[in-house]
Structure 1
Amino acid sequence: GEGVLGYQSYEELLSTGTGEALAKVNPEDVQTLMYTAGTTGSPKGCLLPYRKTLHNVLNAQLTFGLNEADVALCTLPLFHSGGLFIQAVPTLCTGGTLLLLRRVRGDPHRLLEALEKGKATWFLGVAFHAKLLAGLEKAEDTYRLEAMRFWAFGGEAIPYDVVEKLQVKWPHIALSFCYGTTETSLSIALPPSKRRVSSYLLAKSTRRAPAGKPMPHCEVKISEEGEILVKGPIVFLGYHENPEATAKAFDEDGWYHTGDLAIMDEEGYIYVVDRLYNVIKSGGEKILATEVEEVLLSHPAIADAAVVGVPDEKWGERPIAFVVLKPGFEEEPEQLKAFCASRLAKFKVPDKIIFVEELPRAGPDKVARGGLRKLVLGD
C-alpha cells in the first residue's frame, strides 16, 4: 500500500523507463567470458554462448528436479562454471532461493551450520567438501539437516568410501554426481538417488563414485584411448584470442576433447578415472596419478597428497609424490614408500616423496600440478 516506506507504484516505475529497445541477441553470441582453472598452465578464456547457458540450465533443472521451493547453499566461486552455471543460475531461473557462503576454509561446522540455519534443500560441492563432512565424527547428531533433499558433488572424482560415510550419517539425503568442464559445463550426471554407491558395478574397482550418464542436449562418447568427447549445444565456441588452442581442442568431426579419461560400466554409468596429462608413462607402463594418490590418502598420517610425473632418462617418466601430513604426525619418506609398495605394483611406487605444508590449487577442487612439476624441475 501507499503507507509502506519507499513505496512506488508499478505505473510510476514504468514511466521512468527510456523506452529503448533491448539489444537483440543470437544464440551463438558470446554471453560470458569465463576462464579455466589453469591446472597445467595459464588459464584460458572460454567463449560461452547464450545457447550453452540455456541448455545447461535445462540440464541442471532436469537432473536435480529443481523447483521454486528449493534453497541452494552455494560455496563454490561464481567465477567458475560449477558455482555459476550448475548451481546459481539454474536455481534462480527456477524461482528458488540462493544462499551464498564464503569459503569454508576447512571448517565443517561452518558449512553444516549454514545448511541447517538456512534450511537448504541442496548443496553442490567438490571432493574437498565430501571429505570434510564425512570426516566429522557424530556430525549427524548435531546437524540433522531435515530440509536437505540431496548432496551434489562434481569436480575431481569422489572416493566411494567417503560418499558411503555420508550415506550412513544422513540416510535421508539423496546423492547426485555430475561432471563437466568450463568448456562443456553439465554434460554427465547422476540424478539424486539413495542407491548405495558401492552397488554400482565399477565403484569398488575404480575406488570412486560414478559421474553418471550423458545428459540431454549433448552427445558424449568415450574414445578408443578412453578420453571423454563431447558435442552439442552445451559446448563452448572456442578460446579467447587463442586459435591454436581452439583448433587443438576440437577434432575434424566437431567433438570437443576434454582431456579426461573415463570408463563405462554395463549399466551405462561413466566413471572419470584421471586426466590425460596425469597418466605417467614409465617404461612402457601407464601409471594413473590418482591411483597412487588414493593409496597415500588411505594412510592415517596423510591429510593431502598429489602425484606428478617427471622426466626420467631411463624410464621416460617416474612418479613423484607431494604429501601434506596431518597435525601431530611425523613420517619418513621411506616409511610411506613401504606403505605404497604393500598396496601397489612396484613400478607405481613414487621414486621420491616430498613433504609440503599445503598443495597449490587452481580453483576449489583442482591441484595445480604444473606448479608441483616446477618445484621438482626447478624451472
Structure 2
Amino acid sequence: MSDHSQSTVIPNEPIFKLLLEAARENRHVAVSDSIRGVNASYAQLLVDICTMHEEIRKRIPQSMFDARGLMPLETTCIFILGPASYVFILASFTALSLGGAICPLGTGANPLYLNHALEIKKYADGKGTDLYVVPTTFNIASSESPLNFNVEINQDLVLEQTRPGLFISTSGTTGPPKLVIHGRGVFVPSAGYQSGDVFLCHRSPVWFGGLRPLISVVLARAKLRIVARDASVIWESLRSDQITFLSTVPAVWTQLMEYYQSHISKLAREQAETYRQGVQKLRRAIVSSSSLLPSVQTFWVDKMQRPLMVVYGATELGGAALVRASAPFPDEARRIGKPSPGVLVKLSEGDHGQLLIKSPLAFLRYHGNPEATKNAFDKDGYYKSDDFAHREGDEYILDGRMIDYIRYYGYKVMTHEVEAPMTVLPYISEACVLAVPVANNAFTTERVGALVRLQSSHLIPRNSPCWDCRSTLERLRTDLSRDLAFHMLPTVVHLLHDGEQIPRTVSEKVNRREVVEKYFKPGSFNLLQDVKVWDLKCQNS
C-alpha cells in the first residue's frame, strides 16, 4: 500500500493515543483473523485504518463534517454491517476516528437491529440528514510491504469521553430490546487484559460482550485471535494457539463440554491430553451473561481442573460490574462475587433485594427514550438491574430475575431452583423452566412449565406406538420430588425433537417469552401432541 503523501489527522483521545503508541513500539501480531487469513501488526492495522479513513472521507459529502473535520453529534451514528473480522475492527476504529459512533448490525439481517437502523434513519430524516452506504471491502496492506504510517494526532481535536461512541441493543431478555448509547470511554481497556495475552474471539459483534473486546483487547496490546463460533474450531485453537483469555456465554461452555465428551474423549489418551493442556494455559476462563448449569460447572472443575471465573454485567453497565474468582463455592452457580474496581453496589433492602450498581462506564442514555433512561436509575445514580440478590460478607449471590419468578397458586417458584436438579437427571439433555400463562383459572395465572430434550438413548420416535409425552412428565415429577417441594414440580412439559431448538436472544440467553409463544400457546395445550399437562385431577384419577 502506498505511503500517504498527506498525514491522516485523528482525534486527541485515549483510544488513538494507545493505538499510536502500540504501533510505534510493538512489532508482533495484533489481530489474527483465521477465517480471512489475516495476521496484522499494529503498524499494519494503523495503515489500514488511515486508508479506510481517507476513503470514507472521499465518499461522503464534506457537508457531513463540521468545522473541525468531525461528524457532528446529530449525525454521529455509523452502522457497520458484518461479522467479527479484521475488516470490522478497521471499520470500527475508522468510525471513531471520524468522530462517529459505532452501531453494529452484524449479519443475517436480524430484525431487531434493522428496526433500530430504521429508527435512526427516521431520526436522520427528521434532522434533514442523508444516510450513506459505504462498502468497506478494499485491499488490506500486505504484512510484507513497508508499513510507513503518517498519522498525526491533532492536539486541539480533543473529544470528550462522554461523546457518543457506541449504539448497541440490549438482548431483550427482560423486555423489549432498547438501543443503548455509550460514551467513547467505554472502549478504553480494563485491568483484566495484559500485554502478551492471546484473546480468543468467536462472538458476534452485534452485542456488547462480542464487540468491546474487538477494540479494547487491541488497545491493551494483547493479541486478538478470531475464529468461527464452532466447538471443534474453538477446541483446536485452545490446543494449538496458546490462548490465554477466553470469555464466553454458558451455551458455548456447554457446547465445548459436549464436544469434548462426544469426540475428544474418544481420542487416544495422549492426543486428548493435548486439548486438556490447552485449557490449562488459560489465564482467564470467564463465563458471562448468565449462570452455568451445575453439571457443566462440575465438568470444568472436576474433569478439566479449570474452574471458571464469573463476570456479572449488563449492556447498560459497559463492562464487568462484579467478578467472582475462579474457585469453587458451595453455591457457586449463583455467586457473582465482588464489585470491580471503581464500581459501587448496593441492595434495595440492605443485605438483600434488587441489585443496584453505579459504574464509571455506565451508558449515557437510551436512544429516543428519555423516560426509560430516567427510570433506569435510582435517585443516587445507581443503575437498577433486573436481578435480585443477597450479600454474604463482601460477596453477592443472585437470587433470580424478576422474570424468573413463577407465581403458582400463591407460591413463588424460582426457575433456576427447578432447572438445577432437572438438568442432572440422566435422561435429560437440555432443559428450560419457565412460567406458562394459565387462562380461565380463578386461583393461579401461571404454572411451572418445562421445555426438555431427552438424551438420545431415551428418545422415542414421535410416530412410535410407545411414544407418550405424559409418561415423561410423570417421571419428571416423580424424580424431582426427591429434591423439590410439591408446588415446584412442573405441571406442563413440551418434549423437543430433532430440528426444534430453544429460542435464544442474540446474546444466547433463553428467550422465555418466545419459548412460551412457540411451544406453550395458552389455551391450546390439549391440542398439541408434544405438550402434556398435569393437574390435581390427574392425581385423583
TM (norm. structure 2) is: 0.59
CA contact (8 A) 1:76 1:83 kept: yes
CA contact (8 A) 1:295 1:340 kept: yes
Give the CA deviation at 1:9.
4.5
Cα separation, 1, equivalents of 2:147 and 2:486: 75
Cα separation, 2, equivalents of 1:49 and 1:306: 36
1:7 aligns with 146
1:316 aligns with 445
CA contact (8 A) 1:163 1:209 kept: no
Cα separation, 2, equivalents of 1:319 and 1:174: 32
1:285 aligns with 411
Runs of 4+ in 1 over 6 A off after TM superposition: 19-22
**Structure 2 residue corresponding to 1:299, chosen from 416, 421, 425:** 425
Give the CA deviation at 1:91.
1.9
Cα separation, 2, equivalents of 1:91 and 1:9: 23
2:96 aligns with none
Is 1:111 aligned to 2:234, yes or no?
A: yes
Amino acid at match of 2:495: F
Cα separation, 2, equivalents of 1:74 and 1:277: 30
Is 1:215 aligned to 2:340, yes or no?
A: yes
Is 1:360 aligned to 2:503, yes or no?
A: yes
Cα separation, 2, equivalents of 1:23 and 1:353: 60
2:386 aligns with 259
Q: Give secondary structure in 2 for the equivalent of 1:362.
A: coil
Give the CA deviation at 1:23.
5.1
1:325 aligns with 454
Compared with structure 1, are the counterparts of its residues 353 and 237 closer, same or farther at alpha carbon in structure 2 (3 Å cutoff)? same
Q: After superposition, what is the alpha-carbon deviation per residue over 1:147-179, rounded to whole angstroms, capped at 9, x for unaligned?
A: 3323111111124553343233333x5642211
Moved more, 113-122 or 152-161: 152-161
Please list, as runs of the form range in 1=range in 2, the aligned pairs for 1:264-279 lying within 5 A after superposition: 264-266=391-393, 268-279=394-405
Please list, as runs of the form range in 1=range in 2, the aligned pairs for 1:122-133 lying within 5 A after superposition: 122-133=245-256
Cα separation, 2, equivalents of 1:74 and 1:316: 43
Compared with structure 1, are the counterparts of its residues 259 and 8 closer, same or farther at alpha carbon in structure 2 (3 Å cutoff)? closer
Q: Runs of 5+ in structure 2 lacking a partner? A: 1-142, 266-271, 460-470, 524-541
Cα separation, 1, equivalents of 2:409 and 2:255: 37
1:93 aligns with 219
Cα separation, 1, equivalents of 2:345 and 2:417: 25
Which structure has the greater CA radius of gyration?
Answer: 2
Cα separation, 2, equivalents of 1:92 and 1:217: 22
Please list, as runs of the form range in 1=range in 2, the aligned pairs for 1:195-206 lying within 5 A after superposition: 195=327, 197=328, 200=329, 202-203=331-332
Cα separation, 1, equivalents of 2:256 and 2:174: 29
**Structure 1 residue corresponding to 2:311, chosen from 159, 175, 178:** 178
Identity of aligned residues (%): 26
Cα separation, 2, equivalents of 1:299 and 1:175: 23
Q: Runs of 5+ in structure 1 lacking a partner? A: none
Give the CA deviation at 1:239.
1.3
Compared with structure 1, are the counterparts of its residues 23 and 373 closer, same or farther at alpha carbon in structure 2 (3 Å cutoff)? farther
Give the CA deviation at 1:232.
3.1
CA contact (8 A) 1:202 1:265 kept: no
Cα separation, 1, equivalents of 2:216 and 2:354: 28
Amino acid at match of 2:386: G
Q: After superposition, what is the alpha-carbon deviation per residue over 1:281-327, rounded to whole angstroms, capped at 9, x for unaligned?
A: 22332111111122221122222221221344312322111112233
Q: After superposition, what is the alpha-carbon deviation per residue over 1:324-356, rounded to whole angstroms, capped at 9, x for unaligned?
A: 223342362222222222321111111100123
1:141 aligns with 273
Cα separation, 2, equivalents of 1:310 and 1:344: 19
Give the CA deviation at 1:21.
7.8
CA contact (8 A) 2:173 2:509 kept: yes
Is 1:347 aligned to 2:458, yes or no?
A: no
CA contact (8 A) 1:229 1:256 kept: yes
Amino acid at match of 1:333: L
Query: Which of the pair is proportionally richer in helix?
Result: 2
